[in-house]
Structures are given as structure tokens and as C-alpha cells.
Structure 1
């Protein structure tokens, strides 16, 4: 009785239906019947490439080659749909040839037939076919890569899950989602932690495109993506995309800087009043908090606000106290809420946005600009848009800040959680921490600049 191992493989099965290996199983069963062989074990590698370029292991193929010398005897066979389904790697064909020479185990396929491995010409034919199979696999890979590159050069989206802010075609904006993207970016820039923003979105019942709750990681991944400014990335290169941007470039880069450089993480966000909110007075980057000690003896443990770029290092506690006193004073005096913006004031912004959209459409539909010219033009237009929005659109204080106004502001402030205090500070003022003068000196309020974002009454 001839015994047989049956090997089934398909390269691409993204939906996991295994339809390809099922068809191969039917054909190899017919092959076993024709040879009068009994299949004793089946090996399956679904969604696995056998080309020289693949890095995924084919576990069942490797197991079959280990087990075959111990289970199969001379005259037994290995069945596959075709030579290329078995392997496309010349080195693996050398292993199959060794298996025949050492154990006289033959290989039969439904499509490619069988090769007489007993002769030198037959083995040479097997090696030649293996080389051509490897070349074909590499040609397919080259064609696929070229097609993907061409798609990127044209600014077209790639496959996968749709991005938040765009419809299933990955090009058409979803207005409600894009409005939320701009809200999140604004809150990040003004110092609110991504963790707190995610909790707020969850409370409002808002979800990601997968239906899951927002998290700091999902907010960061979204805002850090060049897709936000209409840029397509492929192998590290940037290409102007066909979809409209959700953010202007200035806002996007600012949000990226906050998320990657200074936003406090984990416990640090819950013990630090100003980390990630306050800015360095020299470079404008967000300050961080770290532990340190005094230089004078006896040394004392202190917490510091630092800028890793400018090497500014200031003790945290006196700055926190000064900022809190100033904010409470601002709340006690009161401030005016932003007035609604008139349609006439918004007209220049809307006109510039329409010009940006028209420029994008002109580039996609024609050859009037090179990619370099398009990039420069879009950068200038987006910078003008950011400047206009900064002048015309005023900051809008949080409702929690409005509720603190009046004579009882200090008492109410003391009852707030640290997270709530951070929210109010980020909305009401911009904090800039400057370098202190050298030497042991008392705290100098002039080295902490507090610029209100609202009009004090």
C-alpha cells in the first residue's frame, strides 16, 4: 500500500475562508485515488507565501519535512496541487531532492505532474522549475510594489480600515467626524491631556471607527497621522493626497509636538498641575516634570519643571502656587465670554478654505503643478488659514470655568480635582516658564508669564 502526505497551501486568504485550500484538497484526493495511495496525514499552511521574499514561517511545511523521513517509507509519496503550491524556494527544493535520494519518497502534483527524481536530468529539471517559480514570485512582488507606489504617487488611499474623519471610500470627508478631529486637536494644543479627552469622548458616547472607546493611544495615532493634512505616506516618502485635509498644517504640527514631546503620561499627569500645559519661555515647547534635589546641603528632594531642549529647570511648588493664585484672582474678577463671530468676519476664512479645496482638485485633475509646487502652495495657503483663524476665531472658555466666576471662586477652586484644574488653566491662560537668574534667590514672579486667553473684566 502506498501511503501519502498531503500538503495544501495558499498565499493570500485575508478573509480566512480557506476556500483555496479546500479546492486543493479535493484535487489532491483525486490524485491519491489515481495513484492508489492512502492519505495518512494532511498538512495545511493557509495564508502563507512560499516565495523567497516571504518572512512568515510555514509551520506545517517544516513539520512535514521533519516527519516524512520517520513515517513514510520508500515508494510512499507527498501530494500537492502544483510544484509552486509546494514551494517556490530553490533551497527548499534541495531538501525535497535530498528526501528522495535518502528515503526514496516521491513527489506528485495534480497540475504539474511528477518529475523523475531518480535521474540527473529529472533533478536538473526540478531545480530549473524551482528557479523559475522563484523568479515568477519575485516578478509578482515587483508588480504589486510598483502598483502600490503608483497609487501613492497619485495620492490615492490604500486599503484597510477607513480612517476616522473620512467615509468608506477613504476620500470623502465626514463633517461630524472632522469637526471632532479639530476639537480634539485644539484641546491637545491648549494643554488638555489625551487621557482626559478620551474620557470625555467616552462620556459623550463617541466611538472610534471600530466601535471601541477612545484612548490616549488612539487619539495620538489619529492626530500624528499625516493623513490629517492631506498627505499620503509610502515607504517614508510623502505625496499630496486626493482627500481634503482635516487640519491645517500649523495646527497639525503643533498637536504632534505636544503629543510626542511633552504631554504627561500615567501618574505624572495626575500629580503635576502644569506639565504639558506650561511652555518653555525660550523655545516654546511643553515643559515636563521630573524629580531632583537641591544643590545646597542638607539636600532636599524636590519636583522640577524642566525643558529638555533648553535645559531650563525650575522648582515645581512655588510655580504651581503662583499660577493657582493668579487663576483664582482671574476667576474672582471675571472675564467676558467669546462673542459669536459674525458671518462677515468668517467670510475670508471660508473663501480661503474654498481656495484650498479648489487647488487640491486642480492638482488631482490636471498637470498644472508639479508635486513640489503643489506642496509649497498648500503649505502657504494652510499657514494663511491658520493665521486668519487665530485672529478671527476667539478661544471659548469651558463651561466649568464660567461656573467658577465670582466671589466664591477660591473655595470652589480648592474643591476641584487636579484634572479639572488643568482643564481650566489650559483654557483660561497660556503659561510660559522662563529661566531664573543664577544664584540662590527668592521666587521671582516675573519668570512665570501668565497670558490670559480671555478678556478680563
Structure 2
């Protein structure tokens, strides 16, 4: 365009550039395009140069939607005598009927854009059905060929999946990956959401997803990709169920708050107040004074914060006492839980539902079959789709249950030592509603575990 302007003897006074911003999508704001409209209406550039015309690489680089064309034409024609130049040469935007001509051009451009999007979607799905990788960037966990595994990243994912199933928070996994020096395929530091996206991606177990739904073959079986899987489908179902369960009903990701001390919020003050009632406030963890042998303690909040400030417990021995109680309880529970979960008993029901939906679609598409009209088809299809969706959700929940049952078979005491703080807190909260901490009286008294009263959860 610079050379063309020189040929015409025109002076370029301002350049408007919106690289990598689509002109056809409504949710994209093109800052320089908006600046151009404002400057055309004002008659000058931000530096005060008068605008006598506009040059564009091509008209579809300038506008692709009818509303943008109308706004541009209105701003351009606020002054007489301006020239417009694009790939077709000089255009007279003041000519009678040019507004309609421009709209026809916009319509043709939109049509071509939609064709390209449709071809792209079809190509994407076709490659997905063939099990080919369609990732634009190297997925975390795989090499640049997007097929073979990168050992250190793959192992980090395996451990993260195992830990999340066992109760670890995504925030802990995020911190661990940052400390290990892992970065995303685009060279950025891992954040909560990017770690979550990695862990719920069906690619981990070799499956393909499009918009959150597994891509399936004609027999309704998930398509297996050409790349090496990192985990098993059972593990993937379990970890996605665990992550979705945590975020259900809030609309916000959970796990952002990571406690520093094991029993913060679990311990409750057992001091009896003057009116005969128990304080029962949640105790907080605090850093112990430097001259003490232990590093942290638990105390009831100050009176200004709603507590009574009467109960104080040494942190390390309190943690140890409660951990021993919980480990003993988990060992007893493991004996009853460590049994094989039977196979999912609704596989036949799912197969029948899928077969019914496929047969309904076949009969509706078959021109020779006249007993399925549009009204009948669209009345019955949602019922079958809903049934299939419910059965698949039940299947995912069953896979998660199997994973937890297998976890229960592990040595509880040995496994406890390798758990993260969040995992330990989750395990404690599964068996204890609270722990009532009764004050030990005045003075420096010996720690007495009998003053810790566990409140066990019922079997329900």
C-alpha cells in the first residue's frame, strides 16, 4: 500500500493495524478499526492530520459484518471528496447504490468465512474420528511429535492424577509443578486453570474430545488416539469426577485456599463459658514463638474476633494425636472397603439406549420409511439423549468408586506419610466432624491427649 500511495502522490498520515483479530466475529473488539471510525468522524488523525481518504489491503480486511460496513460508510461520508482504495483499485463510496453493493460484498465474505469454518470443523472431527492428533501446540506430557511421551512431564501428570484422586488440591499440584520448574507448552508458568485443563483432558488416557464430549465410533465406543496414553481410562474417569465434584454448585474453582496447619478449622474450642455454654469456635493455627521447641500451635480466636481466647494447644503433639486416631479408623475402614467393586451393571442399558437412538435416526433419515415424521423424531430424540447422558454420568461415577476402592487396598499407614497436607485434611474431615479441644488449665502443664475429644462422623 505504501508503494501504491507513492504512485498516486498520496501522503500516508496514519496506519491502523489489527493483526490477528477477526473481522467476522462479534465478540472481537478491533481497537484500531474503532479508532479509524472515530478519526473519520472527527476528520483528523490523533496527531491532527486531516484525513482525505482510506486505503485497505482488501475490503474484507476492513469489514466483514453488515453493521461494521454501515458504520464505516457513515463515518467515511461525513465529509465530501474522500477517496477509498483497496485491492480492486479506487472505489467511489459516494456513488448511488454503492451501499447495497457493499452489503452484497459483505454477504459474500460472510458466506466464505462460514464455509471455511465449516470445512475446518469437519476436518477437525474427521481427524478426531481417525484418532489423529489435532493439537496446534505440543501438549504438556508429550514430545514435539505429539505422539510419544516426554518422561518427566508424563510422570508428573501420573503422580498428580493419583494425588488428586486421593484428595490433593489442584492448588497443591500447581505449586509442586512450579517448584519443579515445569512450564506450559507455550512457555508460561502453570496456573490453577491450566493445571486443571491438563488433568481433565481425555487425551491423557488416549481418548479424543470435542467440546467436552468424547468422540465415539459407530458402536458408541470412545475413539482411541494414535498417541501414547499417560493414564488409564479408569483413572481419567476418576480424576475428572473428583475435580467436577469439588466445583459442583459453586460456579467457581475450589482449592484456591491452602491451609498451612493440619487442624485449622477442624479443632473447636471446648472452654465452658460463664453462662454454662461451650465456646465451640473454630481454632486457628499460629506460628509458635521462636524459643519454643515446637513450630506451631492452635488457639481460640480473640474475643474481638468472636472467640474466647481461653484454649491453646501445642501444634506438633496435637497433630500427632489426631493423626494416630484417624489412621487407626482408616485402617479399620480399609478392611471392609478393600473389596472388588463389581462391574458396572448398566452397560446393557446404555447399549440399548444408544441402539434405540441410532435406529430412530436411521428411520428418520430413510426416505422409504414413512412412519417417523419430524414431530415424532424430535419428540423422542431428547428422551433418548437424556437417558444416554444419565447412564454415562453413572458410568463415570462408578469408575471413580472403583478407583477409590483400589486406593483403600493400599497400606494406610505407609501411604499416610506420602500424603500432602490437603490430602491429610480431606482424609481427617471424612471421618471426623470436629475435634473438641478442652483447655488444660492454668500454667505450663504436660500435653494431655485425653483433652482432645474427637467427634466421629456416622456411617451415613
Give TM-score, length-normalised by structure 1. Answer: 0.54
Structure 2 Cα separation of the partners of residues 74 and 447 of structure 1: 78
Match of 1:114, SS state, is strand
The verdict on how the C-alpha distance between 1:65 and 1:398 changes in structure 2, with shifts beyond 3 A counting, is same
Query: What RMSD over aligned residues (CA atoms) do the two structures have, in Å?
Result: 5.1
* 1:16 corresponds to: none
CA distance in 1, matches of 2:232, 2:410: 17
1:85 matched to which residue of 2? 61
2:10 — aligned with what?
37
Displacement after TM superposition at 1:299 (Å): 5.2
1:276-295 equivalences in 2 (<5 Å) = none
2-structure distance, mates of 1:420, 1:65: 57
Aligned partners of 2:123, 2:3: CA distance in 1, in Å?
A: 38
Per-residue CA shift, 1:342-371, capped at 9, x if unaligned? Answer: xxxxxxxxxxxxxxxxxxxxxxxxxxxxxx
**Residue correspondence of structure 1 range 45-444 to structure 2 within 5 A:** 45-51=18-24, 53-71=25-43, 76-99=52-75, 101-193=77-169, 219-239=195-215, 240-242=223-225, 243-261=227-245, 265=255, 269-273=259-263, 298=277, 300-303=279-282, 323-326=322-325, 390=406, 395=411, 433=431
Q: Deviations over 1:256-313 (max 9, x none)?
A: 44445469846663344499xxxxxxxxxxxxx698999x962533449xxxxxxxxx
Per-residue CA deviation, residues 77-136 of structure 1 (Å, 9 max, x unaligned), is: 211122222212222222343345431253433421223334324443333223222322
CA distance in 1, matches of 2:458, 2:128: 47
Once residues 433 and 89 of structure 1 are traced to their aligned partners in structure 2, the CA distance between those partners, rounded to angstroms, is 60
Q: Is the Cα–Cα contact under 8 Å of residues 274 and 422 in structure 1 kept in the other structure?
A: no
Between the aligned partners of 1:42 and 1:213, the Cα distance in structure 2 is 35
Q: Flag structure 1 segments of 5+ consecutive residues without an equivalent.
A: 1-27, 276-288, 305-316, 331-371, 403-418, 437-441, 450-457
> Residue 17 of structure 2: SS of its match in structure 1?
strand
SS in 1 for 2:231: coil
Distance of 1:116 and 1:301 partners within structure 2: 81
Q: Structure 1 pair 400/261, CA: closer, same or farther in 2 (3 Å)?
A: closer
* Separation in 1, partners of 2:79, 2:135: 47
Shift of 1:63: 1.0
Sort the Cα spacing of 1:40 and 1:253 in 2 relative to 1 into closer, same or farther, 3 A: same
More strand by share: 1
TM-score (norm 2): 0.54
Q: Residue 75 of structure 1 contacts residue 105 of structure 1 at CA under 8 Å; is this kept in 2?
A: no
Q: How has the CA–CA distance of structure 1 residues 273 and 83 changed in structure 2, closer, same or farther, with 3 Å as cutoff?
A: same
Deviations along 1:128-174, one digit per CA (max 9) or x if unpaired, are 22322232223222222332233333333333432332222222233
After superposition, the Cα gap between the structure-2 partners of 1:193 and 1:148, relative to the gap in structure 1 and judged at 3 Å, is: closer
Q: 1:126 to 1:219 in 2, by over 3 A?
A: closer
